[in-house]
Amino acid sequence: MPKSTVTALATCVALLMSITACSTYIPSVDYSHPTESVVAPDADNYIHDRRYGIVFSIAPLLERENMNSVEQVRLIRNNKGYYFVTAPGFRHVYVLEPRPGQLKFDNNIELTADGLQRPGFNQRGDYIEVIDRGTGEVYQINEEGAI
């Protein structure tokens, strides 16, 4: 076998091994947060969830709800990694997909035309339970919508 063929073959094998090593994944990751976070927005409508290490502006959510401010925001993360966000007075639960350096609006789930009075989240395996403690209504949702 000529020397150039051996060199080319060795280069191809090394390249394939490096590509395989770079594309290693860890399967079966559960991203869920077992309990909801309740955080108060700052003066600029940013929430800082120190427990789970996320900071973002709720201004786009307030705009969608036609509100100027809220006293507290509730968020939880499901096992697939989606964030669910709502607040008292919101008609929707917003589903946000994490992306590098941003959160993408993935879905907005309308639960009530009158707005949630005292919402709360519970992690329930494959779905999120939304409880309005003001009305006693209970909803089951996932990233695709109400179940």
DSSP state of 88: T
Question: Could you tell me the residue range of the domain that residue 108 belongs to?
Answer: 37-146
Res 53: pLDDT: 93
Return the ∠ at Cα 96 (arms to 48 and 80), rounded to 5°.
Answer: 105
Structure tokens at 91: 């008609």
Domain-located, residue 18: no
Structure tokens at 17: 């091994």
Res 10: pLDDT: 57
* Ranges under pLDDT 50 in the chain: none
Domain-located, residue 111: yes
Strand, helix or coil for residue 58: coil
Longest CA–CA separation in the chain, Å: 81
Domain-located, residue 125: yes
Q: Using an 8 Å Cβ cutoff, are 130 and 36 in contact?
A: no
Domain-located, residue 14: no
Res 62: pLDDT: 98
Domain-located, residue 100: yes
Res 138: pLDDT: 98
Domain-located, residue 108: yes
Res 21: pLDDT: 55
- Domains identified in the chain, total number: 1
Domain-located, residue 17: no
Domain-located, residue 12: no
Res 13: pLDDT: 57
Q: Where are the beta strands (DSSP E) in 89-144?
A: 92-99, 102-110, 119-124, 127-132, 137-142
